[in-house]
Structure 1
Amino acid sequence: MISEKKLAEKRLTEAYNNAKIEYFDDNSKYIFFSDCHRGDGTPSDEFAKNQNIFLFALEFYFNNGYTYVEVGDGDELWEHSNFKHIRLAHDEVYALLKKFFDLGRLIVLYGNHNIHLKCSNFVEKNYYKFYDEYNEEDIELFPGITPYEAVVFKHRNTGQEILTVHGHQGDRMNDKLWHFNMLTVRYFWKFLHSVGFINPASPVKSSEKIHKIERIYSNWIKMKKIMIICGHTHRPHFPKVAELPYFNDGSCVRASGIQGIEIVDGNIMLIEWRIRTDSDGGLHIKRKIVRGPEKIEKFDLRNNETYLQ
């Protein structure tokens, strides 16, 4: 059997070779969120607790001209086979995402928990439009949308590339064996999940597994000299000095709030949105820069031997 390291290298290379190319420059603005795991509003729906934070953050990014990049596992399609229930539970979220889509500012990648989006028939049936039972008419949602496994962001002037994938590529249980893992989640772990248990196959459960994924992805970065933005592990990561440019945008289901990666004015930074108190005890949703900003060109490995020792 091929090792997980070799599998990840092979899958990442395949994803890179087949990726959509998104050109950007120093005037571009992107916000990367992943692992929303939007559910049906029941106790197993981890996203529900952070929905208001997410909406507030997304309104900010919409009003300030950002493109929203959802880096996989946006919808929890492992636990919920009917997307209609997810859409109804979070209708405000989809109304706002549609505003991004209508202006050409929405990029969607699929992860393991919404790998169904790789099937064009599933996407057309569920995401192009929906039936409004109250008004008895079809309503457009994301007509013609194409979700991707990978997107390569390529700088118009320098040619520097950033590979963006969900991060499950090469994680055997969540990649090659995803169908088996999905069935255990849907018919077993879903119910334990609602009372706090986590599937041991999930990378969130094991720090050893998280670190293994990070090491494997860093090895691919070193070989290919291409920086990566991903999610999947739910562990935010922004490289320290002389570390290889592996970036992880965290998740939208942590108790502390939601994390993401921003690219703006040629800079990259790790941010967090959470509820904070003011001096009078009032609650407010605030954005905090956790790491950065750093110039993206700093992480261009093509002519930078510092990272390749």
Structure 2
Amino acid sequence: MPRKKETSQFGALLAGVALGAGATTAVVYWLNKSPQTTPAQVRRNCALDRALRRARTTGAALLEPGQRYIIFSDLHKGRRTPADEFRFCEATYLAALEHYYKMGYTLVVLGDAEELWEEPDISAVVQAYANVLESEARFHPQRYVRVDGNHDSAWRIETLVKQHLDPIYPGIRIRREFLVQAPLESGKTGEILMVHGHQGTLDSDIFDFLPPQLLPLYRDFQNITNLGHTSPSRDACLRGLQDTFLYRWASAQKDLILVAGHTHRPVWTSLTHLDSLLNKLRYLQGHRQGHQVDDRLQKIQALLSEIEERERKYPPCNDTIKTRSCYFNTGCCIFEDGDITGIEIDGGTEALGEKEGKAAEMRLVKWGKASGSEPEQARQFVRLELESQTLEEIFIRLFTRDLREIKPGGPHE
């Protein structure tokens, strides 16, 4: 009898394990059945929903004719050590700031301005780049917006802001997001939400309940153990995933586009710059009319060279088809060749008499050293417009239908 009882208990145990495994499998299948219901996506959706609610509660800035924004992110300023990647881009960034200051732009620094994870000595970082901070300070207070990121989340601690930033930017306010409303010719109003892009990751969501004073301890834990790091800047596959998470949230919103940083990879109308280049190449290869043979071949060769460089620097991984032009990314200011990328938002101009007004538009731009062997050219920096569209054109796609562009050879962003 005892043996039969043991057999019965063992059978019940197996049945319980099988039932539990089956239930777990069913839950996991259900959570992952739709991309929008995966736990990772849900975390990001909740975090971005909170960001949008905060931004609307705080109040949006109205994009008016004559008003301009330049958005840069991910400078990661350190202490000028060999690990400090901003050193190579400092001169380019300063040249760009000079241009935008003279042209009346509002400067938006969209997170990770300083590298305060690997460089916990904030005073040393601030002193190392005092010249850059002073150049930015010219925009403050009327034309300066600072949004924190995951690598400079220490600026959420007011005492640190007052100690290190207040002397340079008196009364500065560190934001977690920034919202701009753009009146359109159609009579509608489009929203442009700017966030760093780390919303919903371990650093900003799961551990967001921790007091700000404990954040340095958590950063130390990450640096020592290499656990909990969510850095798409160094991981091509994580970069593609993060772009997809941000896109999915933005694609579910109404009359809204999302501008982020964090991944260090430029994205325009939900397409990476690599995908835009591939689409341009496909167009040139398929449209022979209207192009001189030599001119067409020269353009194709230039595109092929740039595509090869982009694939080497940013190999595609975990990229998905994205059909709505709702997601944009600034790229970063720490490219190894000294280039920086950013996004301009131009409110356009009003019509004056018989002179037509200029429509509001967005532009993806790159700044870098001028080409040429002369010493004078080596000291010059140029602005290159990579992509541009009017805000009316961008938002009309969201108001009417999905934009579907599939590049040859597989899925794209």
**Of the candidates 258, 264, 268, which is equivalent to residue 362 of structure 2?**
268
Amino acid at match of 1:154: Q
Amino acid at match of 1:285: F
C-alpha contact (below 8 Å) 2:222/2:229 kept by paired residues: no
Name the structure with the higher helix share. 2
- Pair 1:234–1:117, CA change in 2 (3 A): same
**Of the candidates 29, 32, 47, which is equivalent to residue 71 of structure 2?**
32
Are residue 251 (structure 1) and residue 303 (structure 2) matched? no
Q: Larger deviation: 161-170 or 119-128? A: 119-128
C-alpha contact (below 8 Å) 1:228/1:245 kept by paired residues: yes
Deviation at 1:181, TM superposition (A): 6.1
Amino acid at match of 1:12: L
Deviation at 1:53, TM superposition (A): 0.7
RMSD: 2.6
Which position in structure 1 is the counterpart of 2:297? none
- Report matched runs for 1:195-214 at 5 Å: 201-214=230-243
Which position in structure 1 is the counterpart of 2:401? 305
- Pair 1:110–1:173, CA change in 2 (3 A): closer
How many Å separate the matches in 2 of 1:44 and 1:279?
29
Amino acid at match of 2:45: E
Query: Could you state the TM-score of these two structures normalised by the residue count of structure 1?
Result: 0.85
C-alpha contact (below 8 Å) 1:218/1:244 kept by paired residues: no
- Report matched runs for 1:159-308 at 5 Å: 159-172=189-202, 175-177=205-207, 179=215, 182-184=219-221, 186=223, 201-225=230-254, 226-239=256-269, 240=271, 243-256=324-337, 257-264=339-346, 265=348, 266-278=360-372, 280=374, 282-283=377-378, 284-291=380-387, 293-300=388-395, 303-307=399-403
How many Å separate the matches in 1 of 2:381 and 2:150?
30
Deviation at 1:112, TM superposition (A): 0.2
Q: List per-residue Cα deviations over 1:45-89 (Å, max 9, x = no partner).
A: 111111111101101000110000000000111122232211211
Are residue 153 (structure 1) and residue 180 (structure 2) matched? yes
Deviation at 1:172, TM superposition (A): 2.8
- Pair 1:40–1:251, CA change in 2 (3 A): same
How many Å separate the matches in 2 of 1:31 and 1:290?
14
- Pair 1:88–1:275, CA change in 2 (3 A): same
C-alpha contact (below 8 Å) 1:174/1:181 kept by paired residues: no
**Of the candidates 107, 114, 128, which is equivalent to residue 89 of structure 1?**
128
- Pair 1:177–1:253, CA change in 2 (3 A): farther
Q: List per-residue Cα deviations over 1:201-250 (Å, max 9, x = no partner).
A: 42122222112112222111121121000000001111259543210000
Question: Post-superposition, which runs of at least 4 consecutive aligned residues in structure 1 deviate over 3 A?
Answer: 173-181, 184-189, 240-243, 279-282
C-alpha contact (below 8 Å) 2:243/2:263 kept by paired residues: no
Deviation at 1:306, TM superposition (A): 2.8
- Pair 1:44–1:279, CA change in 2 (3 A): closer
Deviation at 1:119, TM superposition (A): 2.3
Query: Could you state the TM-score of these two structures normalised by the residue count of structure 2?
Result: 0.64
How many Å separate the matches in 1 of 2:176 and 2:190?
20
Amino acid at match of 1:66: Y
C-alpha contact (below 8 Å) 1:79/1:185 kept by paired residues: no
Deviation at 1:15, TM superposition (A): 0.5
How many Å separate the matches in 1 of 2:225 and 2:99?
38
C-alpha contact (below 8 Å) 2:233/2:263 kept by paired residues: yes
Amino acid at match of 1:273: W
Deviation at 1:174, TM superposition (A): 6.1
Are residue 115 (structure 1) and residue 153 (structure 2) matched? yes
Aligned length: 287
Q: Which runs of 5+ in 2 are unaligned?
A: 1-30, 32-37, 209-214, 277-322, 349-359, 405-413
Q: Which runs of 5+ in 1 are unaligned?
A: 130-140, 190-198
Q: List per-residue Cα deviations over 1:133-188 (Å, max 9, x = no partner).
A: xxxxxxxx111111111111112564210110000002235653584762256558
**Of the candidates 97, 102, 106, which is equivalent to residue 144 of structure 2?**
106
- Pair 1:125–1:270, CA change in 2 (3 A): same
- Pair 1:188–1:92, CA change in 2 (3 A): farther
C-alpha contact (below 8 Å) 1:4/1:172 kept by paired residues: no
Are residue 127 (structure 1) and residue 221 (structure 2) matched? no
